[in-house]
Amino acid sequence: MAKLYIICIDDQREVLNTVVKDLESFENFFVIEACESAIEAWELIEEIDDEGDQLALVVSDHVMPDKSGVQFLTELYEDGRFALTRKILLTGLATHKDTITAINKAKIDTYIEKPWKKEQLIGDVKKMLTFFVLEAGLNYEKYIDALDQQTLLGELRKKV
């Protein structure tokens, strides 16, 4: 069975580890991977794609050396293979211009400001995963503990 991945990207290890730690409750349903750069993330994404697995969610920092988060998320959006992948930008510093690009070009789904609150991060991740699971046509009952119940109910009602 195809595995579902969540990838977290941040160039600062302490921050990256904290994000991963905050998301550990999702590990029962998803594989959580940590990457220190966008380039590393791309390598991993290619591997995931080769294995026939799916990328459910990316949580990315913006300000990173070599390639910025917005740049990376734009590439991901333009790639086409990951149309269903949900994208969260988690950043302490993005200029007005960066933010506009993030929305218009990278089509990010959620923007979270650093320092973040664990509950908020988990809540947003749950919502994003709910959209992903439904849009990917997966059996949501299997993932129910990792999903946002209200969003799920709302979306299901729309379908009826």
Report in angstroms how near the CB of residue 102 gets to another protein at its nearest: 12
Is there a contact between 59 and 90 (Cβ–Cβ < 8 Å)? yes
Asked if 34 touches another protein (CB under 8 A), the answer is yes
- Residue 47 per-residue DSSP state: H
Name, in order, each residue with C-beta under 8 angstroms of 17's C-beta and a sequence gap of 6 or more: 34
Residue among 83, 78, 7 nearest 38 (CA): 7
Q: Which two tokens stand for residue 155?
A: 């979306």
CB neighbourhood size of 85 (10 A): 22
Name, in order, each residue with C-beta under 8 angstroms of 115's C-beta and a sequence gap of 6 or more: 92
Report in angstroms how near the CB of residue 138 gets to another protein at its nearest: 19
Residues in 6-25 at the binding interface with another protein, rule: CB under 8 A: 11, 13-14, 16-18, 20-21
Which stretch, 31-39, 116-124, 127-135, 140-148, contacts another protein (CB under 8 A)? 31-39
Asked if 98 touches another protein (CB under 8 A), the answer is yes
Asked if 40 touches another protein (CB under 8 A), the answer is yes
By CB under 8 A, name the binding residues for another protein. 11, 13-14, 16-18, 20-21, 27, 31, 33-36, 40, 43-44, 62-66, 68, 92-95, 98
